[in-house]
Structure 1
Amino acid sequence: MTRPKAEATGEAEDVDVAQNEVGSGEVEGEYASPENDTETPSTSNEQSSPESAEVSREESNSAGTNYEREQPISNGRSTPSQAGTRSSSSKFANLRATFEQSPTATGNSIASKRRLASSEKLNELGSGQKQEFESEIARLRDELEKTKEICVALQEKVIGHEEREGRNAASGVEQKKEHEFEIAQMRAEIDRAQEMRNVLEEKVSRCGDTETRISQLQEELGKEREMRIAFEEKVTGLEEEIEVLNAALEQRDQQWQSEFEKSQAQLMSDAENRLNVVVKEASRRQEEAAIAQKQLVDLKQSIAASTRVSTEVSDTTFKEEIGLLQYEVQNWVINNFRRVKNENSPERLCEKLDKVAEPEQLEYLKPIYEKFEASARLQIYQATFTCYIMEIFDEPYLFGLQGQRDWARRSRQAADALRVVLDQETWNRWRVTTFEALRRSASITELVESATSGITEMICITLQALTDAEDSETWQSSLKPIIQRAISLAHSMRVQTAQYKFVLPVSEQPFDSELMEDVAGEGDDDAERLVRCATFPALTKLGQESVTSTARQVVVKAKVVCFDADDEEP
């Protein structure tokens, strides 16, 4: 068994060290005290040997006990308690023998040398240094006394331990079993601790890898933060540059915008001036053409009147008259409403129409304005104009006889009565003769003037309400000649032998190519088109100039605007 020998060797070395420490303490005590120069070193060693032996005995006892507790016991062998007791007793005996050996020669030589050296040094030192040495010597003496007390206590403990070893010899077998059980438990705990240690070492190794990775990530994070700070500084600089550039760009845009607006305003002004000049020139030429055409018609009428006794007018003349009237109506609408924008909704336009239109005109115009479109506003305004002058064309007698004068009222009553009594041919001859005389009389002129003013005012009021436009006084001054021409045309037709009738198509009426003409010229299938509005009525003729007939002849087609019937909204 190598382990007990090694432990015994270690314990012997510890005892030798303790003996030397005790011996050196006594020598220092002798050196520190000049008064005890007569005391021999052997006496001091003899006094300290029992205490050192007790200390060594106590340590040996403890070492033996620990050895017995730590010594593994195999299941195949058993050691009697008496052998353990004898082994401990032999160890204590060896320790005592070691402490009882006399080191007098070495101690005496060292003590004598130190005393001689100390006495010589004390003589050489001054009073201050002597006091320091004396205080140091006193301190060392106190420590020596304490050491002696400790040695005595240790000796008592060793003696008590020997007594306990004797008492425990009888119960050695039971203690051995208990020790074996405890050792087994401790081994199991050691195994578990070893396993836990291995697990912890693995975790520690993993933690080391993790810490390495964490340190790497921290370094990367530090680099990223530095890069982020650098990028933020760069972005801040770029943003400042962008702000400066935006400010410069905005300033330049404002400058260019102002210059562009000035140039556009100048161009618009120049264009409007040129357009006004062109419009005025066109209006002047149109007026000249209308005057020339009117003069031509008047000349034809005068020639016809001078060459013929009757008042009959050819269909060609009526076509020219109607074409001139249609042109004047269209020109008046375009000149006054071309630049007027209408942003009202169809519902709003119908509300305005309800307030200003008469029942007859409202019934005709409301379907048109319910489907109002800004792109066709000029055609719709022209249809509104035509709707009002239809009152002139629909008068069965001379327009103006519906006034409040007695003779006019009686003339209408007579015409109504004769129309029932006379046959068609006789009635036509009476109508031509009577109405021609009334038309040339000065009495009807006043009634015609009053009716002309009324129609003119109603047209201006209606269009002004629908378009929110102004300058209606100028409208009336240019509108009266057109109304007068329409009245003159209607009077001329009422003094003809043949019966002429104006037909105005209504909204959403199917397109009839024999009676109508689409001014837009769109669409090939007439059956699939519906009328949006009529800008001018058609003129039909019943009978001939000298022959009674009921056949209808279309002299002038109605001018209409159509839309596709497949569309839900026109």
Structure 2
Amino acid sequence: MNASHEKKTRGGIRVQGKSPIAAPPRVADPQRRANVREGSPTNSATSTNTTKASPGGGVAVGTPPHENEDAEEVDRSARDRKRIGELEKETLVLQEEFEKELTLLSHKLTHESETAAFWQKKYTALHQAFLKTDTDLKVLKQETEGTEGRDRDVKTRISSLILDRDAFREAFNEAMGEVRMREEEGRGLRDQVRSLKEFISSSSKGVEQVSDEGAGEVMQRLGNGLQNWVISNFRRVKIDIESLPDEIRDQISELVPTYISIAAISKIYLIQSLISMVLVQKIFQSYFAGLSEDEAEKLKATEETLSRYGSAESLNQWRSTTLSILHKTAPQRLLAETDNTITSTLHRINTLLEAMASVSTNPARDTSLKTLISNAIDLARLLRVQKAVFSIIMPEILEHQRTVFDASEMEDIGGGSEDDEDVEIGKREVRCVTFPGIIKHGDENGEQAHLRNVVSKARVLCGPD
């Protein structure tokens, strides 16, 4: 504002003083120029007329020529000054408009500079956060390379951090909001795994009865962990079921008979269904997970023999007491057989997935999957040592057989409500089972076998009519 005021003041000084615009050169009267070119006949005539003798013998005196020229010069000067004043006023107006426009553009330039500086600072901060996260991850990897005997919790966390780093790199240029969402998802997954380990560890310390809510919570966490593992590792992988070898096709068809129709709906649901069926067959349906087949058959035969002589309640107590002995010593005595079970289960799952999705072996992916398999073994053992009978529900979906949705035992992951009219009239059809459920028979003491409680519902996907 001071600069503008000074400029206006200077302009006013120029108006009062001498104008910076030079006066135009004098323009001769056209008649005078014509007289000059024609030899000034008019002036001659005027002179002649002026010098004529009057009748009285004197000379008649007319208007002198130089007085006319002075009058014309005065008129021209007045017109020139008037024109100069008008031009100076126009110049001042243009100068004020130019100064206003210059001030406006200066403000805009300042605003744009501040905006550019803000976004540059924002980008620098985000880039520094990315570099810090990447550096922290490299430090963690260096610390774990030469260390053996780390517990599974640390391995799971490292794998999750690697996944988070990859997700962060991919989503950094897309949106920072998505990065924060993935980090929260990773932290939630680590918390679920940590809570699951703590719960299984505390439950395996003694022969204590687990509540229905506790067993259901562990089963739900296991299902969530499997879902997150499939999404993290196979959400961008394409599957090809047309070119499968006959042997692999037969195995997949045995596990999931409707795999072709499920693949058309979602590859994620198909992979979850395959892994869930493998876990049910290899772990949950075994007599006691981690026990050799010969020993398991012997105990099973003994239980069948005792069932002919004793009541169901006493048989449940015998099974709980016997398997509790194995459960206490399982971490030491059954370590080798447990590792074999984990390895064989992992091998079968990888064989099916690598043939179907054309993916190679990934150590980080296998490590997190081993953790899920180990958690499934711990849960299966915990359920078997209970006096009540816990059974796994995994409905088999066949092409030629229609399976109707049962709201009491199933949970529709497709978003259907239990209050829908299709549920009431039994029209909702189950297309796929992505994770099994748990049903409890009897009470905590192994008695009242007629009691039945759904501890955890099976996760299914229903289709339209």
What TM-score does the superposition give when structure 2 sets the normalisation length? 0.55
- Give the match for residue 443 of structure 1: 333
Structure 2 residue matching 1:271: 3-state secondary structure: coil
- Give the match for residue 233 of structure 1: none
User: Match for 1:532 among 431, 436, 458?
Assistant: 431
Summarize the Cα distance change of 1:427–1:454 in structure 2 as closer, same or farther, 3 Å threshold. same
Would you say 1:398 and 2:288 are equivalent positions?
A: yes
Q: Deviations over 1:174-205 (max 9, x none)?
A: xxxxxxxxxxxxxxxxxxxxxxxxxxxxxxxx
**Deviation at residue 551 of structure 1 after TM alignment:** 2.9
Would you say 1:382 and 2:276 are equivalent positions?
A: no
Rounded Cα–Cα distance in structure 2 between residues aligned with 1:340 and 1:379: 13
Would you say 1:285 and 2:187 are equivalent positions?
A: yes
Q: Deviations over 1:108-148 (max 9, x none)?
A: xxxxxxxxxxxxxxxxxxxxxxxxxxxxxxxxxxxxxxxxx
Rounded Cα–Cα distance in structure 2 between residues aligned with 1:555 and 1:269: 39
Structure 1 residue matching 2:173: 3-state secondary structure: helix
- Give the match for residue 464 of structure 2: 564
User: Match for 1:355 among 242, 247, 251?
Assistant: 247
Structure number with bigger Rg: 1
- Give the match for residue 545 of structure 1: 444
- Give the match for residue 36 of structure 1: none
C-alpha RMSD of matched pairs (Å)? 2.9
Does the aligned pair in 2 maintain the 1:529–1:564 contact within 8 Å?
yes
**Deviation at residue 545 of structure 1 after TM alignment:** 1.0
- Give the match for residue 326 of structure 1: 223
Q: Deviations over 1:441-466 (max 9, x none)?
A: 23222211111110111111111211
Rounded Cα–Cα distance in structure 2 between residues aligned with 1:276 and 1:374: 28
Summarize the Cα distance change of 1:311–1:392 in structure 2 as closer, same or farther, 3 Å threshold. farther
User: Match for 1:336 among 233, 236, 239?
Assistant: 233
Summarize the Cα distance change of 1:459–1:268 in structure 2 as closer, same or farther, 3 Å threshold. closer
User: Match for 1:312 among 209, 212, 215?
Assistant: 209
Summarize the Cα distance change of 1:541–1:392 in structure 2 as closer, same or farther, 3 Å threshold. farther
**Deviation at residue 439 of structure 1 after TM alignment:** 1.7
Query: 1:457-468 to 2 correspondence within 5 Å?
Result: 457-468=347-358
Rounded Cα–Cα distance in structure 2 between residues aligned with 1:543 and 1:339: 45
Provide runs of 4+ in structure 1 moved above 6 Å. none
Equivalent residue letter for 2:453 = Q
Q: Deviations over 1:353-388 (max 9, x none)?
A: x423675x6323132x22134552111111111011
Would you say 1:513 and 2:415 are equivalent positions?
A: no
Summarize the Cα distance change of 1:274–1:462 in structure 2 as closer, same or farther, 3 Å threshold. farther
**Deviation at residue 292 of structure 1 after TM alignment:** 4.0
Gaps of 5+ in 1: 1-266, 566-570
Does the aligned pair in 1 maintain the 2:216–2:455 contact within 8 Å?
yes
Rounded Cα–Cα distance in structure 1 between residues aligned with 2:408 and 2:199: 27
Structure 1 residue matching 2:316: 3-state secondary structure: helix
Structure 2 residue matching 1:437: 3-state secondary structure: helix
Does the aligned pair in 1 maintain the 2:405–2:430 contact within 8 Å?
yes
Structure 2 residue matching 1:502: 3-state secondary structure: strand
Q: Deviations over 1:447-501 (max 9, x none)?
A: 1111111011111111121112234443221110100100110101111111000
What TM-score does the superposition give when structure 1 sets the normalisation length? 0.46
Does the aligned pair in 2 maintain the 1:401–1:409 contact within 8 Å?
no
Rounded Cα–Cα distance in structure 2 between residues aligned with 1:293 and 1:394: 21
Count of equivalent residues: 285
Query: 1:77-476 to 2 correspondence within 5 Å?
Result: 270-271=172-173, 277-278=179-180, 281-282=183-184, 284-294=186-196, 296-298=198-200, 301=203, 305=206, 310-342=207-239, 344=240, 348=242, 351-352=244-245, 354-356=246-248, 362-367=253-258, 369-395=259-285, 397-403=287-293, 407=295, 410-441=298-329, 442-476=332-366
Rounded Cα–Cα distance in structure 1 between residues aligned with 2:291 and 2:190: 33
**Deviation at residue 552 of structure 1 after TM alignment:** 2.2
User: Match for 2:389 among 496, 499, 522?
Assistant: 499
Rounded Cα–Cα distance in structure 1 between residues aligned with 2:227 and 2:382: 22
Instruction: Identify the structure with bigger relative contact order (alpha carbons < 8 Å, sequence gap 6+).
Output: 2
Rounded Cα–Cα distance in structure 1 between residues aligned with 2:433 and 2:348: 19
Does the aligned pair in 2 maintain the 1:464–1:472 contact within 8 Å?
no
Equivalent residue letter for 2:407 = S
- Give the match for residue 45 of structure 2: none
Summarize the Cα distance change of 1:476–1:558 in structure 2 as closer, same or farther, 3 Å threshold. same
Structure 2 residue matching 1:513: 3-state secondary structure: coil
Summarize the Cα distance change of 1:408–1:541 in structure 2 as closer, same or farther, 3 Å threshold. closer
Equivalent residue letter for 1:528 = K
Q: Deviations over 1:192-232 (max 9, x none)?
A: xxxxxxxxxxxxxxxxxxxxxxxxxxxxxxxxxxxxxxxxx
**Deviation at residue 274 of structure 1 after TM alignment:** 5.6
Equivalent residue letter for 1:435 = L
**Deviation at residue 521 of structure 1 after TM alignment:** 1.4
Rounded Cα–Cα distance in structure 2 between residues aligned with 1:423 and 1:466: 48
Rounded Cα–Cα distance in structure 1 between residues aligned with 2:286 and 2:314: 17
Equivalent residue letter for 1:434 = T
Summarize the Cα distance change of 1:374–1:432 in structure 2 as closer, same or farther, 3 Å threshold. same
**Deviation at residue 283 of structure 1 after TM alignment:** 5.4
Rounded Cα–Cα distance in structure 1 between residues aligned with 2:349 and 2:170: 33
Structure 1 residue matching 2:256: 3-state secondary structure: helix
Rounded Cα–Cα distance in structure 1 between residues aligned with 2:458 and 2:271: 16
**Deviation at residue 394 of structure 1 after TM alignment:** 4.0
